[in-house]
Structure 1
Amino acid sequence: MDAVQHVFKGTFIHSTPRCDCEILEDHILGVDTAGKIVFFEDAQKQSKLAQKWKFDESDIQELGKNEFFMPGMIDTHIHAPQYTFIGTGMERPLLEWLEYTTFPIEDTFSDVEIASNIYRTVVRRTLKFGTTTACYFATIHTDASIVLADTASQYGQRAFIGKVCMDHNDVYEKYCETSEESIRETERFVEALKKKKYDRVKPIITPRFAISCSERLLNELGKLANEHDLHIQSHISESPAEIKEVLRLFPGYKNYTEVYNRNKLLTNKTVMAHGCYLTNEELHVFRERGAAISHCPNSNISLCSGHLDVQNALNHRVKMGLGTDVAGGYSMSLLDTIRKAIEASKIIFMERSKSERYNNETEKEQKKNVMPEGINADDQNGILQFEKKVLSYKEAFRLATMGGSEALSIDHLTGNFEVGKEFDALLINPDAIDSPFEVFSDISKEELLQRFLYLGDDRNIRAVYVAGRCVVPFPSNA
């Protein structure tokens, strides 16, 4: 039995398989020297726990009145090299944005010194914003991708690092590999990370998307993932123009999902970004394979790509997490992604309600019986549907934490505060100096959580823990 290194007492908020948002006040949690949660009990058991686990009760770290712990947030889709131009180029649609902004800048990462400087900034920034786990796209450059892995490990972030694979690039031919080179360099990248034996930084097979990969390359990457039991990430059904181009390049496939599925790239360790236009038939395949979707609402809106119907995907029991998709998304913070996910679901609800109403009005006259305050019978029914179909803040909270761990198939390791999992956590202080919001009076922890999710930022994140190690604030020499 490892010794206990941290004991925290106060409020803890997390998701469970049965509850999107469970709030546990006056609880006590212990973390051992291996970074795992060894007990999580009502604080009334404090003395018995101290006796059993042999810790001094004076060493318990008590949270402030309004403070609470929540699980670390999990970014299931982020392009690390694109941080260099975050917040620019938003005037172009996806494929033009890749051609004129993304590919030329990613190509500069052949210079390892450039990569090192940018990746250090990216890892520090994401950790500061509460991202304890990040699923990164790097570039096609193996050595620079290894630098990203080294940097994540140095700062203590849990990460999946993808050396990007692409042997087809009509719009920016300079930024491309041959099939042989892409396969060979991916194998070198995987072996390099295996030799380093990092505890929490792993390689992930990363075909950029079907447009940039030949069938042969996709097939070989599927074999490589299977041979080494590796995670897989890519993009799917992000925009109508992308889907049209995929079907042109792969005429023997009936849809986008089949391109990945037939090449053994859809597994229970696969996460595909976007999925805005996946059909119910394709969602069924995702469910069968155990593959996940990374919902990236900021990027989908910013590049005018489309909207993912989150509730429909969840109704199909498809695993799902959230992604910032920097730099298609203009924010590094998953708090922004939570807000955008809720807003996108409301947009879908409003557009569908509007369409349904217009269709109904062509069949019959609008109902005359007006409800109080101008709400008619159809509107009243709409309010009930709103509650069922719009993503709640609790559901979005789950997607950013436990949902992300499920999407990356690491829910046995992290995602909530279950005993036996590693302690990835954020200590939230609503009363922080220069907080972006105020707490004027005694309010419930549920209201505090809502305010943080809708209004908070990194100023409210007092500390960040990954596997029991406090990684933020950064050490003075980091």
Structure 2
Amino acid sequence: ATYFGSMHLAPNKVLVDSIVRLGQRAVVGKVSMDRESPDNYIEETQQGLADAEDFVEYTLSQQCSRVMPCITPRFIPTCTMESMKGLAAIARKYDCHVQSHISECCGEVSFSRHLHPEHRCDALVFDEAGLLTNKSLMAHGTLLDDDAIRLLVERGTSVSHCPLSNFFLGDACFRVNHTMNLGLKVGLGTDVAGGISASMLTSIRMAVVNARCLRAHKLAIKGGFDDKRTARFEVTPDMEVDVISFKEGLYLATMGSAKAICIDDKVGSFEVGKEFDALLVDVNVPGGPFDIFDGDSMEDQFEKFINLGDDRNIVEVYVQGKCVKRGDDFTGDVIKPVPVEPSSEKKRKAAE
């Protein structure tokens, strides 16, 4: 998981403690915001930077290789350039992840242009601040143009596709295939604050729906007529370029997301030598959400789980080869953290 925590330092430390104790793998950040925010939910710039660094140091002090700290400017409207540059310096010092929101809706983009008229897009603002790195993950990106996408690709920055949240924000659909064809790393997210579900299964399904909406939009724009205005409701090949299946949705949730946060050398697939992060799924669970019939192939059963399954089908959850959840019971209270690899620790100290 990647977590946007709260703005407050103490609760974020509790969040880290809980993640470590329960055996979860996570990138987690304390949200930073020093402008254009409610009076009771805003921080002074220098104190915010001090708290962000304190949080990074606290998370690293846990010596848990599956929990990584993350610099988290909420988004451009709520972060001054001074804050963003200071946060970028902390990220460089500790070689840690960065996460934020980028080009997510018309209101946000317009307000960011108002605040930074010297830049034509969010990507250039983040780039000036030094927040576009190969460990940066930006949510949404529905309004990124090709030049901005190419800048993200050049910097190694990835985008977390949050389809259900994007539908609620309501201004655009993310073009998964187009952006990946330009070389962008794309993972899958929920952004539950903007949507209604924290389920990755729901996100997979909504990613497929998002792609079908792009296809339907092209057909609607064409209006059911050919170039000679002859009525002809026909789906042409150019309308299919955005379509993805449940298999591509699964890729975004697994290997795509691992690449997006630069841990694809450890997880994301069952390749020999990687750490075993996995779900044990029972498609025949009593009282389950779908039926299995004689003649259903393994792929049929798997597709039913992706499209119809829920937590009732998930029998066990494994992280780093250890079972951390069995049924409704968390077993993580007995999980001991696997220490950070010495090479990673040396790299961090060298960066200080």
TM-score relative to the length of structure 1: 0.67
Contact kept in structure 1, 2:28 and 2:67, CA below 8 Å? yes
Matches within 5 A, 1:2-41: none
Structure 2 counterpart of 1:146, from 13, 28, 46: 13
1:451 partnered with 2:304: yes
Contact kept in structure 1, 2:71 and 2:91, CA below 8 Å? yes
Letter in 2 for 1:389: D
Letter in 2 for 1:401: T
1:162 partnered with 2:43: no
Q: Partners of 1:277 and 1:248 in 2: how far apart?
A: 16
Deviations along 1:278-324, one digit per CA (max 9) or x if unpaired, are 00110111111111100111111123243111121111110011111
Letter in 2 for 1:400: A
Larger Rg: 1
Which position in structure 1 is the counterpart of 2:286? 433
- The alpha carbon displacement at 1:427 in A equals 1.0
Structure 2 counterpart of 1:461, from 304, 314, 319: 314
Which position in structure 2 is the counterpart of 1:273? 139
Contact kept in structure 2, 1:169 and 1:175, CA below 8 Å? no
Which position in structure 1 is the counterpart of 2:67? 201
Large movers: runs of 4+ above 6 Å: none
Which position in structure 2 is the counterpart of 1:296? 162
Which position in structure 2 is the counterpart of 1:250? 116
- The alpha carbon displacement at 1:477 in A equals 9.0
Letter in 1 for 2:78: S
Larger RCO of the pair (alpha carbons < 8 Å, separation 6+): 1
Matches within 5 A, 1:225-244: 225-244=91-110
Which position in structure 1 is the counterpart of 2:336? none
Change (3 A) 1:476 1:209: closer
- The alpha carbon displacement at 1:398 in A equals 0.2
Q: Partners of 1:208 and 1:327 in 2: how far apart?
A: 13
Q: Partners of 2:331 and 2:181 in 1: how far apart?
A: 47
The secondary structure found in structure 2 opposite 1:389 is coil
Q: Partners of 2:27 and 2:113 in 1: how far apart?
A: 29
Deviations along 1:163-204, one digit per CA (max 9) or x if unpaired, are 00010124x121000111111111111111122212211110
Q: Percent identity?
A: 39
Q: Partners of 1:475 and 1:160 in 2: how far apart?
A: 20
Letter in 1 for 2:230: Q
Contact kept in structure 1, 2:285 and 2:312, CA below 8 Å? yes
Change (3 A) 1:162 1:391: same
Which position in structure 2 is the counterpart of 1:306? 172
Which position in structure 1 is the counterpart of 2:323? 470
Contact kept in structure 1, 2:281 and 2:313, CA below 8 Å? yes
What's the C-alpha RMSD, in Å, of the aligned pairs? 1.6
1:319 partnered with 2:172: no
Deviations along 1:380-430, one digit per CA (max 9) or x if unpaired, are x52x44554311111111001010000010001100001111000111111
Q: Partners of 1:308 and 1:467 in 2: how far apart?
A: 32
Letter in 1 for 2:229: E
Matches within 5 A, 1:341-360: 341-357=207-223
Structure number having the greater strand percentage: 1
Which position in structure 1 is the counterpart of 2:276? 423
- The alpha carbon displacement at 1:327 in A equals 2.3
Q: Partners of 2:44 and 2:332 in 1: how far apart?
A: 41
1:217 partnered with 2:70: no
Q: Partners of 1:354 and 1:395 in 2: how far apart?
A: 25
Contact kept in structure 1, 2:142 and 2:172, CA below 8 Å? yes
Deviations along 1:315-343, one digit per CA (max 9) or x if unpaired, are 11100111111121211110000111100
1:365 partnered with 2:229: yes
TM-score relative to the length of structure 2: 0.90
